[in-house]
Structure 1
Amino acid sequence: MFFKDFILEEFGNFNNFVERKYVLSETAFTRKGKLSLKSIIKYPLCNRKKTTSIEVNRFLRNELNDRGVTITKQAISEKRQFIDPIVYMDMNDNFISKIYAHQEEMASFKGFHVCAIDSSIVEIPNTKITRKEFGIPEKTQLMKDTSAARISCMVDTHWDFVLSSNLTNKKVDEIKSALFHLDDVKDKMDLTKTITTYDRGYPSTELMLKTIKLNSYFIIRAKVTNFKKQQTQMERDKINDATFDITLNSPKIKYFHSEDLKEYARKIKEFKIRIVKVKLKNGTIETLLTNLPKEIATPEELKQLYGDRWKIETNYDRLKNKLHIDKFTGKKKIIIEQDFYSHIYLFNVLIALKHDAEKQITRKPKETTKYKYKYKTNLNTLIGNIKTEMFRLLTDDKEEINIAIQDILDIASKDLVYTKINPPTNEERDKKKYYHKKCKSNIQDSF
C-alpha cells in the first residue's frame, strides 16, 4: 500500500483546518497582522525544537518571504494561547481514518489489525504555572512530585501508526487512558477486526469488559495474582489453554471508571476469559489473558502477537529521541498540548513516508557469512527533510506539494541504514564485547 496520495490530499486540504472554531477568543485574529490564524496553526508543525527566538524569526521570514521582518517569542506565545490543540487532533484523526478505511490492506493477522496500548512518562517545564495547570503539587522537601506528565498511545504494531494519544497528569490511571483510546478509535477503524495487546499493568476486568462490549479482542500479559483460582486449577490439571466463566460481583464492579460499564456488568453478570500458558525462550512460563477463540489464534500465535507489543516501545523511542516530542516550547498547558498533538500528527506523516520510501529502495545489501541484512530509510534524515520542506508542504499549490513529497521520498530511499534481519542471540554475540551473561538486561524475561 502506498501512502503518498493520502499525504498529498492531507496537506492539500490544510486550509480546511484553518477555522474559527479552533480559536478560543472571539476577538483574536480579527485584525490583520504579521501572524495570521493560518500562520499560528502552522508554527508547531514547522518548529525544529531549537532556540525559540531563532525558530520564531526563521518561521516568520519563510512564511512572509521577507528576510527583514522580526518578531518576539512573547508575541507568538501570546497568539498560540488562542489556538485549541484539538485542531491537531482533528488533523491526525482525519489522516488515520482515511488510511484505515482500507481495511483489507491494513490488516496484518488473519484480517485483523494488531495494536498495543501503553504509556510513558515525560518531563514538562518545572515552573509554577505548568505545575498548577497539570495539577502537580508544589515542590516539597522530599521532592516526591516531580514536574512530569504521562503520555499514552495506541499503536498499530505492524504499521507503526499512532491511532490515538493523550497527555495527562502522570497520576492518571493507565486503565482510564486505555478506555479513552478504545472509545477514540472506534470511529476511525473497525474494532471488531482489531486485537489490542497490553502489558502486565493492564489486567483490568473493566478494560476486558469494555473490549468485549465493543465486540473487539484483547491479549493481556497477566500477573500470578490475576485470576489466581483459575491459574491454580490449570496447574493442578496440567493444562496450558482453558476458558473460564468469570462472575461479575460487586467487588469487581465497584471501582470501574465508567457508569455505563458498571450497568453492563450487572446486566451480563459474567463473562468468559481464556487463559493461556506460554513458554519463553529461557524456559519461563508466562500467562496470557484473551477473549480470542482457539480457532482464531493458537497459543503459539498468541505468544507471537503479544511479542509484537514491543513495537510500541520502539515508537516511544522515536517520539522522544527522533522527534523530541518532550522538548516543549512553552510553559502553559495549552502550548504543551499543541506541541504534543502536532508532533503525533507529524509522526504519522513520517511513518507513512517511511513506508513509501522503503518500497522504493533498490540497493541490495552485501552478503555476509553470518548474518542477513536489510536496508531501511534513515529516520534522522527523513525527519530533517520533512521539517525543511514543511513550508512547501503547507501551501495551497497541490503540484508544489506533490513535488516536495517526491523530493523527500527520493532522498529517503537513498539515504539508508541497515539492520540485521535475524539479530544474534546472547549465545551468538561476541562475549568479549558489549555482552556479559550476568548483565540483568540480558537475562530478563522477554517474548
Structure 2
Amino acid sequence: MDIEKMNSNEFRAFCRSGNQNHFTRTRKMPLQDLPFTMINRKGLTLALELRNYMKIAHPGTFISKPGYLKQRMKLNPDAFLELYKYHNRNFYADSSFSTYKGHLILAADGSDINIPTTAETLELYGSASRKNTKPQAQIGLGCIYDVMNRMILESDCNKVKFDEMRLAEKQLERIPETIGNIPFIIIMDRGYPSTPAFIHMMDKGIKFIVRLKSSDYKKEQSSLSENDQLVKIKLDKSRIRHYEGTIDGERMKELGEISLRMIKIPLENESLEVLATNLSEIEFSTNEIKELYHMRWNIMPISA
C-alpha cells in the first residue's frame, strides 16, 4: 500500500515542493525514485548507496552525487510526513495490532539531538552550549510511541529548550487522526506531570500513568498508608498561585480538588517510586499498573 501511494499521481504532485515544474523532464533520477533511495539507505556512503540502488532500479545507468543532490533539493520534505501518516493509519485500520486489555499502550518521551551547527540551525533551534563556549546546534525531539507495536505515532522537532508536557498534549490531540477510536493509555516519566496537565487529560477522558518526583504532592505522598490508594489533592492557594490569572488557574479554582490513584513501587535498592494514574482498580490491578509502567521504563528494576 505504501508503494502504491508513492507511485500515485497525488503523491507525486505533493512531492514537487510547491513547484509543479519540478520533475517534469525525464532524468536519471525520476521523482518516484527519490523517496525510495532515502527510505532504503543502509548506512553506507552516498556514492555506494546510489550505485547499489541504480544497479537494481536502473541497470546500466549512473548518477553522480551532485546530480542526485540537486534532484533531492527539489523534493518536498513533507512528503515523508505524508507517507508516515498514511502508513500509520493503515496499520491501525488492520485489527492485527497488539493491545493490553483492549488498550494501546503509548509512551511520551523526549530527547536532545545534535545537528550541524550553522547560522540557520542556531536561529531555528538554538544552542545547547553554555555561554562563551563554542555553540552546538541542537533540536529537542518529542515523540509518542506505541510500546507494544513498536510504532512512533507522533514526533516533532522543537527548539532545544521546549515544554515536553505542552508538546505531548498537542500530540495527544492528534492521536485519534491515526488510531481512530481505539482506547489508549499514555505513560509518562517524571519530567512531564503538572496539576494542569492532569486536569487537561482528565477533562478529555485521557487515561494516564505518570511517575511522580519526590517533590510532587509531597504531603500526599508522605501520608500514603497503603501501596495503592486513591488520594484527594486539595487545590489550595499555594498550588494555584503559580497559575493565577490563567485559564488553568481558573479551572483549578473551579474544581477545588482532584483525585489521583497513587501506587508505591518498591525498588531493588529499597527506595520507592510513586506512580499517579486515573485508572480505577476495577479497570487495572496494582500489579497490572506496575507491568504497564515497566513495559516502557524498563530501566526501573521492580522487585518481586
Q: Under a length normalisation based on structure 2, what TM-score does the superposition of the two structures give?
A: 0.82
Comparing 132-141 and 14-23, the one that deviates more: 132-141
- The residue that corresponds to 1:75 in the other structure is 67
Name the amino acid aligned to 1:285: L
Q: 1:287 to 1:176 in 2, by over 3 A?
A: same
- The residue that corresponds to 1:85 in the other structure is 77
Residues 185, 209 of structure 2: 8 Å contact kept: yes
- The residue that corresponds to 2:111 in the other structure is 120
Residues 114, 138 of structure 2: 8 Å contact kept: yes
Matched length: 298
- The residue that corresponds to 2:235 in the other structure is 247
* SS of residue in 2 equivalent to 1:13: helix
Comparing 283-292 and 77-86, the one that deviates more: 77-86
Q: Among the aligned pairs, what percent are the same residue?
A: 21
Q: CA deviation at 1:254?
A: 5.9
Name the amino acid aligned to 1:292: L
- The residue that corresponds to 1:299 in the other structure is 286
Instruction: Answer yes or no: is 1:216 the counterpart of 2:216.
Output: no
CA deviation vs aligned residue, 1:69-119 (integer Å, no higher than 9, x gap):
232x3333333333333222222222222222345x535322111121112
Name the amino acid aligned to 2:218: K
Distance 2:270 2:231 in 1: 24
- The residue that corresponds to 2:222 in the other structure is 232
For residues 18-417 of structure 1, the aligned pairs below 5 Å read: 18-26=11-19, 27-67=21-61, 69-71=62-64, 73-102=65-94, 105-136=96-127, 141-143=132-134, 145-190=135-180, 193-234=183-224, 237=225, 240-247=228-235, 250-251=240-241, 253=243, 270-310=257-297
CA deviation vs aligned residue, 1:214-238 (integer Å, no higher than 9, x gap):
322110110111112322332xx56
Unaligned runs of 5+ in 2: none
Name the amino acid aligned to 1:291: N
Distance 1:302 1:87 in 2: 39
Unaligned runs of 5+ in 1: 1-8, 314-444
Q: CA deviation at 1:12?
A: 3.5
Q: 1:310 to 1:229 in 2, by over 3 A?
A: closer
CA deviation vs aligned residue, 1:33-71 (integer Å, no higher than 9, x gap):
22322222322112223222333344345433324x232
Distance 2:182 2:244 in 1: 27
Residues 141, 156 of structure 2: 8 Å contact kept: yes
Distance 2:283 2:178 in 1: 24
- The residue that corresponds to 1:368 in the other structure is none
Q: 1:251 to 1:39 in 2, by over 3 A?
A: farther
Q: 1:211 to 1:102 in 2, by over 3 A?
A: farther
* SS of residue in 1 equivalent to 2:281: coil
Name the amino acid aligned to 2:85: D
Q: 1:36 to 1:206 in 2, by over 3 A?
A: farther
* SS of residue in 1 equivalent to 2:177: coil
Distance 2:2 2:140 in 1: 29
Distance 1:133 1:56 in 2: 31
Distance 2:100 2:200 in 1: 22
Name the amino acid aligned to 1:152: G
Residues 18, 37 of structure 1: 8 Å contact kept: no
Q: CA deviation at 1:136?
A: 3.5
Comparing 197-206 and 21-30, the one that deviates more: 21-30
* SS of residue in 2 equivalent to 1:37: coil
CA deviation vs aligned residue, 1:290-338 (integer Å, no higher than 9, x gap):
1111211222221111111136x8xxxxxxxxxxxxxxxxxxxxxxxxx
Q: Under a length normalisation based on structure 1, what TM-score does the superposition of the two structures give?
A: 0.58
Distance 2:245 2:98 in 1: 35
Q: CA deviation at 1:288?
A: 0.5
Q: CA deviation at 1:200?
A: 1.1
Identify which of structures 1 and 2 has the higher relative contact order when contacts are C-alpha pairs closer than 8 Å and 6+ apart: 1
Name the amino acid aligned to 1:120: S
Q: Which structure dedicates a bigger proportion of its chain to helix?
A: 1
For residues 430-445 of structure 1, the aligned pairs below 5 Å read: none
Name the amino acid aligned to 1:218: F
